[in-house]
Structure 1
Amino acid sequence: MRRRKMNKQNIKKEQTETAKKRHEDSIKYMYFSRYLLIRYIITIFFFTNLMWLIIDVNYHSVLGIIVSAIMTIYSGIASIEQLTKMHNRKREVPISKVYLEVQAALNLLFIILTFLPLGKYLFPFIENQSIMFFMTTLFLAGILLCVWSEYRIHQIMNDQDRYHKVIETFKKHQQ
């Protein structure tokens, strides 16, 4: 009889520990999800910069290769910082924040350079006006994504994002 009670107690204890672990894991994933769209945007920039690097290597554009390689590496580092959010609940993402600012500033500079002769050294694949306007549109879209991401980071850092409220409510009610 006593043995049966011990087993029931052990089972109940294990169930409680399992429920507690699930609750803690859910909170961890919620914190990680706060940066989900920012992570996707930085990944888009990584692959865009990588594609630009590959194209510039094909065109043997030294200036383009240098700039695109630096931005590819920098976006890769920002991506790694985003992945560390799985095990790090700190709200700050200094590398990603600065990366997005640099990317936005460069996109603005690229818009200007696209219409100048120096632009041919960075973007040798721009051969006509329609490609020039297409690239300008892409740069403007990149600026908008950077600005939106900066706004989102600001919301997270000030606990004004939707996830913060959900996390706080979920912490109070263990399931």
Structure 2
Amino acid sequence: MNRKKLSKKEKRIIDRKGKELSLKNMYFNRYLIVRYTVAFFFFINVYWLISLFLTKSFMVILPCILILFLVFVIFEHVKLYSHHTNKLPRTKLYFKIQLFLNIILIILSWTNLFIKIFPILKITQKTRLLVSVGLLIGIIISYLIIKKLNIIEKNKDKQFERIKKYEKAIRK
């Protein structure tokens, strides 16, 4: 194998590209918890869709709409890697919709629509309470993600401070 020695100029170019890649990854990782939460809600909604589909419930439209929104959110995150921005309007909209829907679902889970919304669950007080707690956790998570997105939009997150320090260090 023929190994060529790198010139100082080539080493500087490689070093600069490595630093640029690190910086790009740091900006992208500001949204790490948001991406994990998007994945969490995606799979929750897929499982809900499957249960509604298997029982032929007309409520199947709800998880379909949420999953469709999530596809647009995923595309927004994919685009984020190559074109950094601190505003993710589709992501924020999705979490607002999820939050609002969870509030509505908590209310509906205490009505006769419970069996149509959650057809694979037995109708008991315990089940309704458990579902309500799960939906409440979804509300809290959605609220916290919206809050995180607002903090990132204003560049008030701790990761942004680290990025700025890193940028300053590599520009010396």
TM-score by length of structure 2 reads 0.92
- The structure 1 segments of at least 4 consecutive aligned residues displaced by more than 3 Å after TM superposition are none
- Which range is displaced more, 102-111 or 75-84? 75-84
Q: CA deviation at 1:15?
A: 0.5
Given the alignment of the two structures, is residue 103 of structure 1 paired with residue 95 of structure 2, yes or no? no
For 1:57 and 1:167, how far apart are their aligned partners in 2? 45
Residue in structure 2 matching 1:76, options 61, 71, 75: 71
Aligned to 1:166: 162
- Which range is displaced more, 115-124 or 65-74? 115-124
Q: CA deviation at 1:68?
A: 1.2
Segments of 5+ residues of structure 1 without an aligned counterpart are 1-6
TM-score by length of structure 1 reads 0.90
Q: Aligned-residue CA RMSD in angstroms?
A: 1.6
CA contact (8 A) 1:50 1:68 kept: yes
Task: Say which SS state the counterpart of residue 7 (structure 2) adopts.
Answer: helix
Residue in structure 2 matching 1:55, options 51, 54, 57: 51
Residue in structure 2 matching 1:34, options 30, 36, 41: 30
Aligned to 1:4: none
Q: CA deviation at 1:33?
A: 0.2
Query: How is 1:104-143 mapped onto 2 (pairs within 5 angstroms)?
Result: 104-127=99-122, 128-143=124-139
Aligned to 1:3: none
Q: How big is each residue's C-alpha offset from its partner over 1:104-156, in whole Å with a ceiling of 9 and x where there is no partner?
A: 00000000000011232222223122221111111011001101001100110
For 2:138 and 2:83, how far apart are their aligned partners in 1? 28
For 1:143 and 1:84, how far apart are their aligned partners in 2? 27
Segments of 5+ residues of structure 2 without an aligned counterpart are none
Q: CA deviation at 1:85?
A: 1.4
Percent identity, please.
28
For 1:40 and 1:76, how far apart are their aligned partners in 2? 14
For 2:109 and 2:78, how far apart are their aligned partners in 1? 34
Task: Say which SS state the counterpart of residue 35 (structure 1) adopts.
Answer: helix
